């Protein structure tokens, strides 16, 4: 596959995906995913929490693309953690999506000690055990995590039979979590970036604007290209057709090593969420 990354189980996925967070069920998400597929995106990311799985599935079905050419990701939500609950949530997701299997199934957030005390570790372990079961039954092509910090993964691996293949984290200029990314890479876990464009402050950054002028690209395209060249899989989201197209147009140029380092070293800004150890939802 052109422009792909091979996961630790040999499964190849595209180097850029399309996100659907806050894309409402119905015409909104259907039209956005349809546009993305028409522009060439093949990695589509949703979650049960987004409450738009039916619309995502309908758009994939209406595209007439072969099912195996679309790499579909969804996630188990926090209130469905645990072995039996996760298996039930998975069945609900594939029913809404209208598919027989999921390409990538993720745990949306780790259970943490702030909320669950010493039970957090066993909750994550039992949830992961459910994902392993789904993987062994060939109901998913790859399994992974979202928002897991290194210590969460270390704890998980104490009882896991199968190594996670993906960890999806917030990653963008001004909030490049290289410590987590490098940990994952060292452990053969691919890194996906949610919110790869950051907030509006990221796109308005003067350094990114200067680089956009230099490469005759937009600040958003600079962000995405920077992530790809850092070995990160960005998952940008937009409901605007022109921006959906723009975000995919990042394969005809390369940033210089100097410019990558320049972006790497931007001062911290644009973080959109609390640490996974601090969330209480």
Distance CA 144, CA 168 (A): 8
Q: Using CB atoms within 10 A of its CB, is residue 116 exposed (0-12), middle (13-18) or buried (19+)? A: middle
Residue 165 lies in a domain: yes
Look at residue 179 and tell me if it is in a domain. yes
- The mean pLDDT value for 82-89 works out to 98
The predicted pLDDT at position 272 comes to: 78
Helices 27-39 and 241-248 cross at an angle (nearest 10°) of: 30
Confidence of residue 269 (pLDDT cuts 50, 70, 90): confident
Q: E strand or H helix at 145, and its extent?
A: strand 140-146
**51 located within any domain:** yes
Q: Are 147 and 177 in contact (CB under 8 A)?
A: no
| Residues 204, 104: Cα–Cα separation, whole Å | 33
Q: Using alpha carbons, select from 171, 180, 126 the residue that is nearest to residue 153.
A: 180
CA-based torsion, 4, 228, 37, 74: positive or negative: positive
Structure token digits, residue 31: 């039209």
Residues designated as active site: 50
Q: What is the mean pLDDT of the chain?
A: 96
Query: Is residue 8 situated within a structural domain?
Result: yes
- Per-residue confidence at 2, pLDDT binned at 50, 70, 90? low
268 pLDDT tier (thresholds 50, 70, 90): confident
Q: Is residue 78 part of a domain?
A: yes
| Structural domain includes residue 207 | no
Summarize pLDDT for 28-68 with one digit per residue, the tens: 999 999 999 999 999 999 999 999 999 999 999 999 999 99
Give the chain's domain count.
Answer: 1
Provide the CATH number for the domain around residue 166.
3.20.20.100
Where does residue 221 rank: exposed (0-12), middle (13-18), buried (19+ CB within 10 A)? Answer: buried
Bridge partners of 96, per DSSP, are none
Q: Domain of residue 113: give its range.
A: 4-197+231-240
Q: How confident is the model at residue 213 (pLDDT cuts 50, 70, 90)?
A: very high
pLDDT at 28: 96
- The answer to whether residue 248 sits within a structural domain is no
Q: Let me know if residue 134 belongs to a domain.
A: yes
């Amino acid at each position: 596959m052109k422009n792909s990354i091979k996961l630790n189980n040999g499964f190849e996925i595209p180097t850029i995906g399309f996100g659907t967070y806050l894309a409402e069920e119905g015409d909104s998400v259907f039209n956005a995913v349809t546009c993305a597929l028409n522009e060439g995106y093949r990695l589509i990311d949703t979650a049960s929490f987004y409450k738009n799985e039916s619309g995502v599935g309908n758009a994939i079905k209406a595209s007439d693309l072969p099912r195996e050419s679309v790499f579909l990701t969804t996630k188990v939500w926090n209130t469905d953690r645990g072995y039996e609950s996760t298996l039930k949530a998975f069945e609900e997701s594939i029913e809404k999506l209208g598919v027989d299997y999921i390409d990538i199934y993720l745990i949306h957030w780790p259970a943490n000690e702030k909320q669950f005390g010493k039970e957090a570790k066993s909750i994550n372990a039992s949830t992961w055990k459910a994902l392993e079961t789904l993987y062994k039954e060939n109901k998913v092509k790859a399994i992974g995590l979202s928002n897991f910090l290194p210590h969460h993964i270390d704890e998980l691996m104490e009882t896991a039979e199968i190594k996670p293949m993906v960890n999806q984290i917030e990653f963008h200029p001004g909030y490049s979590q290289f410590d987590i990314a490098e940990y994952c890479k060292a452990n053969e876990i691919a890194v996906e970036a949610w919110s790869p464009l950051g907030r509006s402050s990221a796109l308005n950054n003067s350094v990114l604007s200067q680089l956009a002028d230099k490469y005759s690209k937009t600040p958003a395209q600079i962000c995405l290209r920077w992530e790809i060249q850092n070995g990160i899989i960005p998952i940008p989201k937009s409901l605007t057709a022109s921006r959906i197209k723009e975000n995919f147009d990042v394969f005809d140029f390369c940033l210089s090593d100097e410019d990558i380092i320049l972006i790497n070293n931007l001062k911290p800004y644009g973080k959109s969420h609390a640490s996974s150890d601090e969330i209480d939802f």
